[in-house]
Structures are given as structure tokens and as C-alpha cells.
Structure 1
């Protein structure tokens, strides 16, 4: 069977009713523009969006025939970060432009032995866990950050990271 074409993204809250299928995707898989994805139950989609987007759990892709495919975040190996000064740990993670899921008493990052060693040196307690990874979106409502264009102005700012 050919994959169903899907060219429309509906964000969580912009769609209702039961989905026709569900696609469970990792953090990396949820960043796409044109890609074939598998749904639970065996169906597949050919996603063909106008621009690259970061899908969130609860979003839906709409197929050309009107069916809704719900997006879910897959369990994946990540690292739970806890420590007495969580704000300081978060600052060091952010200073490295690393995706981070922020909770009240913990941070969650992707596995990265260099970052893990630095955080341990700063007094963090690290625990490997398997859970969906839903990091904070980038600044200025842009979702994932891909470079040093920090704002909505459309031109890079000259700066350094110390």
C-alpha cells in the first residue's frame, strides 16, 4: 500500500475528534519537513510540509483525504539531572545550546558523555531513564534552535559564548 500523503500540520488544540491512526516518534523523528513515517497498526504517511517543523505530542498531521494522524512522543533513552542548584545546571546546559526538558525538580537531557561529565563535576546527580523527551522550545517561539539567529529579526547576531 502506498503511503498516505499528509501536507497539513494541526497543532494540539487545533483539531478534535478521534484520530484515524497514531504515529509514535522520537525527538529526532519529530523534526521533519518531508519524510515517510510509520503509524501504529501498519499504515504509513508521506509527510510533505511547506517548511521544516518540530512536531509536539498531541499535534496531528492531516492526510489529503482528511484523516487525522495523532503524533505521540516515543520513549527513548535520556538522562535525568538533579542537583542542589538546578538553575545553575540549566544555565550550563543552555549555554551549550543543548535541548533540555525542564521540570520542577529535575532536568532531562539527551545522552551526551561530555555534558554528563561536566554536570557531574558541577555536583549533579545523573540517572539514565527511558521516557518521552519533550524539551523546551527555542526562544522567541521558534521551536528548535539550529544556529545563532537568536531572534525574529532574520539576521545573525555577532557574539561569543564564554
Structure 2
């Protein structure tokens, strides 16, 4: 059975996955060297929190975030982050910029708010959920769910 590892000792190959592909339960993955690996986990798992895999034969495979199209955002970061978060969009928060996956609708909105935006291709590591891990999935806010329609 394939094991998830938080630390690697001697990885011999690498699997690179974009943000969407790092959320898995059961999936066939392919290493950089072309080796097929079947991952069958008991629950849906975010591989972003794992350094790699140990296969049944003891082989260690590193897990890395693959470069993907993103937008690097500069400007009034608290205000821009609020608008990004209000749309439940995954966002990587850095000291002097924000990063989101490339999205032409959000790009237009952010430019309209005065953001400076630079398209780039790099690994994407957004913030985790409210407790520092996991993903912010969906729009359900639990028993006190709300909608975004407002009477003005």
C-alpha cells in the first residue's frame, strides 16, 4: 500500500501536480520518469501537506507543486484580499503581493480596483482554511449559511 510521507529520506523520482490535482482520493499519477503510481487513499486528501509517497517496494517519490498560470497582484493588499476572499477564491498571501490562479474575470475586477497585475507561471500555494490547514471548498458556511444578495 502506498504511504503518504511528511519527510523524505531518499526520493528517487518526482510527481508534480497543480493546485487542483493535489486534491485526491483515488487517482493514477505519473512520475517525471514516467512511472505510473496508483494512489488509493481512504479519504479525500490535499497532497500539498505531504512531502512524498513511499511505494510498496520502499521507493520514495517526492511530491511537488507544478508551475501553473497565476496572477501576481500588487496594490492596496488588504482591500484587494477582501475582494478576493469575498469570492471564495484561493489566494496565496505574500508580504508585498497576492497570487491567485489566472482568471480573466477576477483580473478585470482587480484592475478596476486599482491593482497592478502581472501574469506569471509558478507553483501555487494558497492559504489553507480558517484553522491553517485544508482547503476552503465550496460556499457552505455551516448552519448559519448566508447568501450574497443585499438590499440597498
User: What TM-score, normalized by structure 1, do the two folds share?
Assistant: 0.83
| 1:27-46 matched pairs, under 5 angstroms | 27-46=19-38
- Report what 2:5 is aligned to: 10
CA distance in 2, matches of 1:16, 1:119: 40
Deviating 4+ runs (over 4 angstroms): none
Contact 1:95 1:161 in 2 (8 A): no
Once the 2 structures are TM-superposed, how far is the Cα of residue 66 of structure 1 from its aligned partner?
A: 2.9
CA distance in 1, matches of 2:143, 2:35: 41
Q: Give CA-to-partner distance per residue, 1:82-111, whole Å, 9 cap, x none.
A: 11x101101110111101111111111011
- Report what 2:83 is aligned to: 92
Name the Cα RMSD after superposition.
1.8
- Report what 1:54 is aligned to: 46
Aligned residue pair count: 149
CA distance in 1, matches of 2:30, 2:144: 39
Pair 1:130 & 2:130 matched: no
Summarize the Cα distance change of 1:134–1:115 in structure 2 as closer, same or farther, 3 Å threshold. same
CA distance in 2, matches of 1:93, 1:148: 14
Q: Give CA-to-partner distance per residue, 1:115-149, whole Å, 9 cap, x none.
A: 11110111001110011111111112441122244
User: What TM-score, normalized by structure 2, do the two folds share?
Assistant: 0.88
| 1:142-153 matched pairs, under 5 angstroms | 142-150=133-141
CA distance in 2, matches of 1:117, 1:16: 42
Once the 2 structures are TM-superposed, how far is the Cα of residue 159 of structure 1 from its aligned partner?
A: 2.0
- Report what 2:146 is aligned to: 159
Query: Which runs of 5 or more structure 2 residues have no equivalent in the other structure?
Result: none
